[in-house]
Amino acid sequence: MKKFSTVLAGAALAVAFAFGAQAQDKPTMGIVVKIGGIPWFNAMETGIKETGAQLGVDATMIGPTSADPALQVRAIEDLIAKGVDVIGVVPNDEAALEPVLAKARAAGIKVVSHEGPGIQNKDWDFELASVKGFGETHAELLAQAMGGKGEYAVFVGSLTVPLHNAWADAAIAYLKDKYPGMALIGERYGVAESVDDSRKTTLDLMAAHPNLKGILAFGSQGPIGAGRAIEERRMIGKFFVLGPFSPGQGRKLVKSGAILGGFMWNPAEAGRVFVRIGKMLAEGTPITDGMTIEGLGEVHPDMATHNIITDNLIPINKDTVDELADLGL
């Protein structure tokens, strides 16, 4: 009996070691986004969790309480201390994150970024929209709405979000070249990650500039706040708000005409792509020209910058907003 008990104990120990090995073999990934608790990143978290479960990746999203680069640095420090295999990031300030991302890579952690093509300390960045295409497509829609003339303003998430500002640069340059009758008010306003700040800034600008007729808002909360201001001032049909936003959050404003529309990519799909690329990096699978990555399609990565740029734009308007919102976006 004693010998049989010893055999059972040995077998149990072997099973425990086997399960421990399996747990260690499961890649771990932490993805730090700009801010938690808003629809855009809630949708991204859904994609992260779904694909993590499907692919056997222990993937978690961390959403700071405000769009503060220091909070992102702290979250990444925590992930380094935990020894995750992969860190993902949607940066508020690329430059502010470089030192901590360099520290992560020095520790052997792979880094994937999104909306951060300028980051140097990364293994790969992926984008579902090109800078030029995203900025110019929004600019053309605004120009058509305004009849190619009048004053407009530009909102970005903050003045330190490189991608928002790159979209703004592309849009402004396009309008200056193609529509000289349109005049930009100010440079740009870093309010588009806050509904309240976007609403207040819109109301202030309308009061100060009676000829202001439109706002391009790059940042998912910007169109929502500006749209609410348009409703308050009863300027629907006379003032045009455009930009990327979560359809579920903006559905009523689109239907009322307070938001004319915009373009977006699917944040849930971006979450899925984070995990797919993270798993590839953790397993040592190379990313090569012409390969297909689900959610991105056929990719042609820039081997010098380690950026994967695609164009997967989805229009948001009265015809599409219900369908997109019903998908949980």
Domain boundaries, the chain: 26-129+266-312, 131-264
Domains 26-129+266-312 and 131-264 in one fold = yes
Q: Do the beta carbons of residue 259 and residue 251 sit within 8 Å? A: no
What does CATH list as the number for 131-264?
3.40.50.2300
Structure tokens at 46: 């859904």
Q: Do the beta carbons of residue 59 and residue 278 sit within 8 Å? A: yes
Does domain 26-129+266-312 sit in CATH 3.40.309.10?
no
Q: Report pLDDT for 215.
A: 98
- Residue 89 burial by Cβ neighbours in a 10 Å radius (0-12, 13-18, 19+): buried
Structure tokens at 96: 């502010």
Q: Which has the closest alpha carbon to 134: 99, 163, 105, 97? A: 163
Q: Report pLDDT for 24.
A: 56
Q: Report pLDDT for 25.
A: 82
Q: Report pLDDT for 327.
A: 80
Q: Report pLDDT for 12.
A: 40
- In this prediction the pTM is 0.77
pLDDT tens, N- to C-terminus, the chain (329 residues) = 434 344 334 444 343 333 344 445 899 999 999 999 988 899 999 999 999 999 999 999 999 999 899 999 999 999 999 999 999 999 999 999 999 999 999 999 999 999 999 999 999 999 999 999 999 999 999 999 999 999 999 999 999 888 899 999 999 999 999 999 999 999 999 999 999 999 999 999 999 999 999 999 999 999 999 999 999 999 999 999 999 999 999 999 999 999 999 999 999 999 999 999 999 999 999 999 999 999 999 999 999 999 999 988 999 999 999 999 988 88
CA angle (120, 167, 280) in 5-degree steps: 40
